[in-house]
Structure 1
Amino acid sequence: MKHSLNDDKDAALLDRRTFFIGTASALALGTTACGGGSGGSSFSPMGGAAAQQTPAAVAGVDSPSTPETPAAEPAAPAPEARKIVHPGLLVTEEDLQRIRDKLAAKAEPWVGGLNMMLKTNNTNLDAKPRPLALVTRGVDGENYWQMVGDMVRALHLALRWKISNDESYAKKAVEFLNAWSSTLTELGGDSNVFLASGLYGNQWANAAELMRTYPGWAKEDVARFQAMLLNVFYPKAHDFLVNHNGTETRKVTHYWANWDLANICTVYAIGVFCDRSDLVAEASNYYKSGRGCGASANNVYYVHPGYLGQWQESHRDQGHSTLGISLAGMLCQMAWNQGEDLFGYWNNRLLAGAEYVAKTNLADADGNALYTMPFAPYNGVHGSGTAAAGTNQLRPNWDLIYSHYVSRKGLSAPWTKAMLDKIRPERVDGGDQPGIGTLLYARDPVPAAPPSGLSAFLSDAKVQLSWWGTAGASQYLVQRAASPNGPFMTLAPVTEPRTYTDDPGQGTWYYRIDAATDAGEMTGADTLRVAVPGELWLHLPLSGDANDASGRGLNAQLKGGTSWGEGRNGGSAVQLDGRSGHIQLPDAAVSALGDFTAAVWVYWDASAVNVRIFDFGSNDVAYMALLPRDGSGKLRFSGTRNQFWNEESVTTDVLPTGRWVHVAVTLSGTVGTLYVDGAQVATADGIWINPFQLGRTTQTWLGRSQYGGDPYFKGRMQDFRIYSGAQDAAFIADLAR
């Protein structure tokens, strides 16, 4: 079957600490055999929801800024140089010993998992390899399935040798590996060649990684297999992640998430097998901060209350959505085995996506969806989506997710568990990923972890709470106090989803989530401070320096061609030269906000299209910006996340030039409102992206665009302010006096 682009040939950290959240949390979280048209964590043996999470949203992780200014997620430096572990891809020697022990004890579900592998007969010792010099996909006469069959055999033979210690399986696995490494020289086809490089390169590397400890595999043969991976598979995978088949510059999101994820997996797996730490870093960094749909921030591009992470392909179909979860899980598993916790990255972002996709695919006996999923409209290059499409896809990809987050971390994953209950023991997959997760990943559970990863932000003027649950908890107790030390009053019991919206009234409040378990009440790991709407979050007077006058310490920096000019009513204002001058706010300065207000005085010297007053983001795929004049000649506030040029906006007449103008924007829930000179001039519903959904912005600018070709602001700025919550018209009018 040929597949083409868009159907077109083209136990956790348990110490409890109190930390500031303002009125918003730092950040909750921000298929079939085919694809379709798509920051660094360190290893924590404790894992848990707190490991490598949003610094302000998870207790036990200190903010890199000030105690009152939490960042939204870890930055994305290259992984720390470390010795590569072998075998260290989908399974380690420790995993293999666990499997041997469980099989020796005739324990379930491991015996059932082994039988699912054996029933395929892929470890038949009479089988002979059928290597090809050229493997093609996506063109007439494609032959990639011939390679896939041998690839799966090699992996199963290697596993059977590792489990049984029967050398006959090792010899047969080496026969397959050597046959292909001495024959294959090229991958070909249409755009689907990049699916071949991604889906199969990483599985070949996994088979070979299991065999590298076999003394009967000659060193020269190992080197030849490494050369095949590096010369045939890696160049295609690397090129795709850099260029996206020629669409990188204009429409990086033209390819669906599974295309990126497959090739990230290949780069990572080849890096480990070939002892290339640079390749490992390339793959890890792309997952954390890449622009394509497979990057963590873009494959889960919107997080609903209760940490249900809308998957990038959810509006497409569920075959591809479950493939994406499979591939992301494989990547995180390989990284975990190399000492890097991508599972925990950005407050367990993968788990948020997995829970959304799992719940989407729960169906009744007739195949009808059991749940209607929350859905943020998708308006990307693949057309519009208004709901999750399809249900009841039973791809074998849930044991890996469940075993890590629940059995290893002690969290709850109710929708993942419900899917796993339907399909365990997991079968072999058809070639896109190995499957057999019950055999490879099932493990005895650790003690349950307390509720963790608590976040809170203002949405429609109310406090919206979300948290990660406790394995085995029957319900959660949402608690609030006027002091971090209590006493805490229980507001409500909650089961699923793990979210609660509170309207506490005036005051400063502290929240905590406790779990009710069979062993008694378990105190939550986090305590969050939430202030009343309207708290001054950031204030840059811009009258002699770029320091923050709010008391929060969010001092900005003047960059490029900046100087000081005449301000309003005397004094000075920052002068931006229109060529390189701009103001850089600290990373993640606004990333803890849901509802917000931004206001500033500007003196615009000359009207230019696509100039920015502010632009908060990390690249040209995800940002929110205020433009004094867009391509349609309008003043526009807009935001986007992984939809590239398809922005959610509110617009009005172009901003005047040649005089001081006060401009402000507010966001309340999904309603955006623009003010000019203190008067409301436009409002619009349907703006789903707020700063909270953008995560840790690393390009948080005044006067500069995320797009390198857009002009810089030319003129002066003064008195830039951000407030938590959407201020009312009277307040804005007061600021404009």
Structure 2
Amino acid sequence: MNGLFRPALIALTIALIGIPTANAVEPPDDRPAAALAFSHPGVLVNKAQLDVTRSRVLAGAQPQKAAYDAMRASGSASLSYTPKPRAVVECGSNSNPNYGCSDERNDAIAAYTHALLWYINRDTRHATKAIQIMDAWSAVLTDHTNSNAPLQTGWAGASFSRTAELIKHTYTGTWTQRGRFENLLRNVYLPEIRNGAGCKNGNWELIMMDAAIGIAVVLDDRAAFDKAIGIWRGRLPGYVYQTTDGAWPKAPSTCPSKDTRAEIIDYWQGQSTFSDGLSQETCRDFGHTGWGLTAATHVAETAWHQGVDLYAEARERLSDGFYFHARLETGTPTPSNLCGGTVKKGLGAVTEVAYNHFHNRLGMSMPTTLRYTESKRPAGANYFYAWETLTHAGNPG
């Protein structure tokens, strides 16, 4: 027998008869995604992160203690908080008309706030309040309408999915109407967002996928989970540019009609020169860009907790996206070839989750992003993200 084949034959024989070798290494789990169970709680935060958050707050450690105090002082944390549900939430462009839009977003953030408070201080009144808010909406809501319906559904659905996940998997008390709320997520929220946003500005689709992946985990819906990841993978290269993409950015997978340089430049707010980290909405304003970047990170964080490493696929794209905008927010002059030499700042407190992953998990040096992150601590709550200094500062899980 050729000596080159003997080691392989020996190894195969050992594997077949089950004899362990001294240097045996467990093979990677190559089962299809559909065969793998979801990890709970696992929407944006997992149990390890929740336990670290709780222990640091109870010990008075910073920055968690200051973040917790800010959360407790917010109106969202009041035990007298009263939800304002309605059967149909109608939201036009810029939430005009605003028939329940602000109320739904605020209620969803309040519910998440109370779920976090419950986990940290073990006061069951907060769990009861989170359930009360969810039950109020599941009792009446039937639809989202008008032009902003998909985005509105994403905003509220992201916070509501985090709330449901925490209560469902950490609270041992009674939630009689849990099935009704899950049906609300399944039948009212998910159909509005699951197919993406087409050629809308990219923050829409990324926020929608933030909600969609969270809802998928709550419902243990592997098909919805995989679909959200697929749309994320098709959108992110169409939202944050890398020079490896070519001479100009790619079109999002849900917007294939933008297939010429002129159409891409128009879609990218008139920007005609491209560099690593530039966003499709940079020249619109940094506020919407921050929404898109943090929503993209939320999807990656939830996927991470479920064993799917989207961060690895988008390491440079995401880290460059945050660096590109954080450096301009922290004093770097705007180049003359960027947005005509003027940008509209206001990125927001959107960097905690990304910094936690890339620096605290992977060890990447990100001094500019750190400086910006620290300047926004403790991060508060806005539209669809809340209290991320509390849950993610220095907390890899």
Measured after TM superposition, the shift of residue 387 of structure 1 is 5.4
Measured after TM superposition, the shift of residue 337 of structure 1 is 1.1
- Residues 96-123 of structure 1: per-residue CA shift (max 9 Å, x gap): 1101111122111111111221121322
Match of 1:360 in 2: 328
Distance in 1 between residues matched to 2:83 and 2:91, nearest whole Å: 19
Match of 2:135 in 1: 178
Distance in 2 between residues matched to 1:300 and 1:434, nearest whole Å: 20
1:126 aligns with one of 80, 94, 98: 80
Alignment of 1:295-374 (within 5 A): 295-303=235-243, 308-363=276-331, 370-373=332-335
Say which SS state the counterpart of residue 144 (structure 2) adopts.
strand
Distance in 1 between residues matched to 2:97 and 2:352, nearest whole Å: 37
Measured after TM superposition, the shift of residue 171 of structure 1 is 1.1
2:172 aligns with one of 209, 215, 223: 215
Match of 1:100 in 2: 54
1:203 aligns with 2:165: no
Distance in 1 between residues matched to 2:326 and 2:57, nearest whole Å: 29
Structure 2 letter corresponding to 1:164:
N
Distance in 2 between residues matched to 1:281 and 1:420, nearest whole Å: 31
Measured after TM superposition, the shift of residue 78 of structure 1 is 7.8
Measured after TM superposition, the shift of residue 284 of structure 1 is 0.7
Match of 1:508 in 2: none
User: Does the 8 A contact of 1:335 with 1:341 survive in 2?
Assistant: yes
Measured after TM superposition, the shift of residue 215 of structure 1 is 2.7
User: Does the 8 A contact of 1:211 with 1:217 survive in 2?
Assistant: no
Residues 413 and 375 (structure 1), Cα distance of their counterparts in 2 relative to 1, 3 Å cut: farther
Structure 2 letter corresponding to 1:256:
N
Measured after TM superposition, the shift of residue 355 of structure 1 is 1.1
Measured after TM superposition, the shift of residue 80 of structure 1 is 6.0
Match of 2:213 in 1: 268
- Residues 126-183 of structure 1: per-residue CA shift (max 9 Å, x gap): 2222211111111435321111221111111111001111111111111111111111
User: Does the 8 A contact of 2:194 with 2:228 survive in 1?
Assistant: no
Residues 394 and 256 (structure 1), Cα distance of their counterparts in 2 relative to 1, 3 Å cut: closer
Residues 271 and 285 (structure 1), Cα distance of their counterparts in 2 relative to 1, 3 Å cut: same
Distance in 1 between residues matched to 2:365 and 2:335, nearest whole Å: 19
1:416 aligns with 2:369: yes
User: Does the 8 A contact of 2:40 with 2:46 survive in 1?
Assistant: yes
Say which SS state the counterpart of residue 310 (structure 1) adopts.
coil
1:428 aligns with one of 365, 381, 388: 381
Higher relative contact order (CA 8 A, sep 6+): 2
User: Does the 8 A contact of 1:318 with 1:361 survive in 2?
Assistant: no
Provide the identity percentage. 28
Match of 1:84 in 2: 38
Match of 1:402 in 2: 355
Say which SS state the counterpart of residue 313 (structure 1) adopts.
coil
2:226 aligns with one of 271, 281, 285: 281
Match of 2:394 in 1: 443
User: Does the 8 A contact of 2:34 with 2:222 survive in 1?
Assistant: no
Structure 1 letter corresponding to 2:190:
Y
- TM (norm. structure 2) is 0.79
Q: Which structure has greater helix proportion?
A: 2
Structure 1 letter corresponding to 2:353:
L
Residues 160 and 98 (structure 1), Cα distance of their counterparts in 2 relative to 1, 3 Å cut: same
User: Does the 8 A contact of 2:241 with 2:276 survive in 1?
Assistant: no
Match of 1:18 in 2: none
Match of 2:200 in 1: 255
Match of 2:267 in 1: none
Residues 321 and 303 (structure 1), Cα distance of their counterparts in 2 relative to 1, 3 Å cut: farther
Say which SS state the counterpart of residue 74 (structure 2) adopts.
coil
Measured after TM superposition, the shift of residue 444 of structure 1 is 6.1
User: Does the 8 A contact of 2:323 with 2:369 survive in 1?
Assistant: yes
Say which SS state the counterpart of residue 302 (structure 2) adopts.
helix
Measured after TM superposition, the shift of residue 435 of structure 1 is 3.0
Distance in 2 between residues matched to 1:85 and 1:174, nearest whole Å: 22
User: Does the 8 A contact of 1:79 with 1:284 survive in 2?
Assistant: no
Alignment of 1:602-641 (within 5 A): none
- Residues 655-689 of structure 1: per-residue CA shift (max 9 Å, x gap): xxxxxxxxxxxxxxxxxxxxxxxxxxxxxxxxxxx
RMSD between aligned alpha carbons?
2.4
User: Does the 8 A contact of 1:343 with 1:349 survive in 2?
Assistant: no
Residues 374 and 237 (structure 1), Cα distance of their counterparts in 2 relative to 1, 3 Å cut: farther
Alignment of 1:32-43 (within 5 A): none
Residues 399 and 347 (structure 1), Cα distance of their counterparts in 2 relative to 1, 3 Å cut: closer
Q: Which structure has greater strand proportion?
A: 1
Structure 1 letter corresponding to 2:318:
L
Distance in 2 between residues matched to 1:111 and 1:141, nearest whole Å: 35
Distance in 1 between residues matched to 2:128 and 2:110, nearest whole Å: 12
Measured after TM superposition, the shift of residue 203 of structure 1 is 1.3
Residues 146 and 444 (structure 1), Cα distance of their counterparts in 2 relative to 1, 3 Å cut: closer
Match of 2:18 in 1: none
Say which SS state the counterpart of residue 255 (structure 1) adopts.
coil
1:225 aligns with one of 181, 186, 193: 181
Q: Structure 2: any 5+ residue segments left out of the alignment?
A: 1-30, 245-274
- TM (norm. structure 1) is 0.43
Measured after TM superposition, the shift of residue 439 of structure 1 is 0.4
User: Does the 8 A contact of 2:194 with 2:224 survive in 1?
Assistant: no
Say which SS state the counterpart of residue 85 (structure 1) adopts.
coil
Q: Structure 1: any 5+ residue segments left out of the alignment?
A: 1-76, 245-251, 364-369, 377-384, 447-737
Measured after TM superposition, the shift of residue 373 of structure 1 is 4.7
Measured after TM superposition, the shift of residue 286 of structure 1 is 1.3
Structure 1 letter corresponding to 2:85:
P
1:135 aligns with 2:86: no
Say which SS state the counterpart of residue 216 (structure 1) adopts.
coil
- Residues 418-441 of structure 1: per-residue CA shift (max 9 Å, x gap): 211311221222x2x223211010
Structure 2 letter corresponding to 1:402:
Y
1:162 aligns with 2:119: yes
Alignment of 1:498-517 (within 5 A): none
User: Does the 8 A contact of 2:111 with 2:130 survive in 1?
Assistant: yes
User: Does the 8 A contact of 1:303 with 1:309 survive in 2?
Assistant: no
Instruction: Work out the number of aligned pairs and report it.
Output: 334
Say which SS state the counterpart of residue 194 (structure 2) adopts.
helix
Say which SS state the counterpart of residue 150 (structure 2) adopts.
helix
Distance in 2 between residues matched to 1:195 and 1:276, nearest whole Å: 21
Say which SS state the counterpart of residue 187 (structure 1) adopts.
strand
